Copies of this chain bind each other. A is one copy, B any other.
Amino acid sequence: MSMRIALDAMGGDYGPSVVVPAALSALRDHADLELVLVGVEDSIQGALREHGLENEERVSVRPASQVVSSEDDVSQALRNKRDSSIHVGANLVKEAEVDGFVSAGNTGALMAISRLILKTLPGIDRPAIATFLPTRDSRVLMLDLGANVDCNSDHLFQFAVMGEVAARAVYGVEEPTIGLLNIGEENIKGNDVVKVAGQLLRDSEMNYIGNVEGRDIFTGKADVVVADGFVGNVALKTSEGTAELLGHFLRQAFSASWASKLAAFMAGRVLKDFKRKADHREYNGAMLLGLNGIVVKSHGSADSYAFSRAIEVAASEARHSVNRRITHEIQQMLEVAE
């Protein structure tokens, strides 16, 4: 069974010059993959020729005359750019012409347009942005990363269900443990929203392990960490900022003197191993979970390797029928609750 994924060729900082080589690498890795490049035809064709893909049967082009930029106001983009590559890509998902859509475009616009066109899954009030992050020995799925800035307890509960299904389906964790991001481990900690969400999770069939603190996100204590989008976004970006600061200090230490530069040379291979381990490109591709269709957001500054990881995420979601399983699980829980 072949798999078709649409790619927003215009999104992100680099457009087709990153998306096309990423497509090439994804096609090499997966014989059953077909890709539909969405965007301004001329620029896509140019990039395809450059990479020798102009006659590739597994690649097709779907024109879209408009581009949503990162500066565009979301509501403007929603209404006035109906032939944007995001609109066209989301419509391909809706019409079931493709199994998923990947875009490195404006996150707010991608979410708003996808939601307008695809709607949410039955039982889900709000879609959430979810991504895998590294832990010491494995991975953790964290959501919401910024789609919802004022969540109530039901929303957090729904995020937990979606995260649980996605961790199981995409990453193959058998009974994913769920943690609620909070400021202490005890049940009495935190604000009212997380306290009530904790109660809902304790009452559920899910493998809920209680609160996790910011420090525990990366220890692997939970397979899925659930947070309000404001908190999750701050946590994700603070983590990125910390990694950048430490990388800066490390480079500074290794370039401070002749002797330290020599040490850097000696340790070159080790530092490369370390860099690969901590490489955030490996984790590129955030799932917009809860939409009635698969949409994946790539980082705006992703290079072609990172973008190809995002294609993998979309393909994996489709292959494992994540949305059908979320719908099923939510329905079951609603029946139990009745």
Contact = CB atoms under 8 A, between A and B. Distances in A.
Interface of A: 134-136, 146, 149-150, 181, 183, 190-192, 213-219, 227, 229-231, 233-246, 248-250, 252-254, 256, 259-260, 262-264, 266-267, 269-271, 273-274, 277-278
Contacts of A218: 241-242, 244-245
Given A217-B241, A234-B183, A277 B253 contact: yes
A230 B267 contact: no
Contacts of A254: 267, 270, 274
27 contacts: A135-B245, A136-B248, A149-B191, A181-B234, A213-B233, A214-B237, A214-B239, A214-B240, A215-B237, A215-B244, A216-B241, A217-B238, A217-B241, A218-B241, A218-B242, A218-B245, A219-B241, A238-B242, A239-B241, A242-B242, A253-B270, A256-B270, A260-B267, A260-B273, A263-B269, A263-B270, A266-B266
Copies of this subunit: 2
Contacts of A217: 238, 241
B235 A235 contact: yes
Contacts of A241: 214-219, 239
Nearest to A241: B215
A56 to B, nearest CB: 38
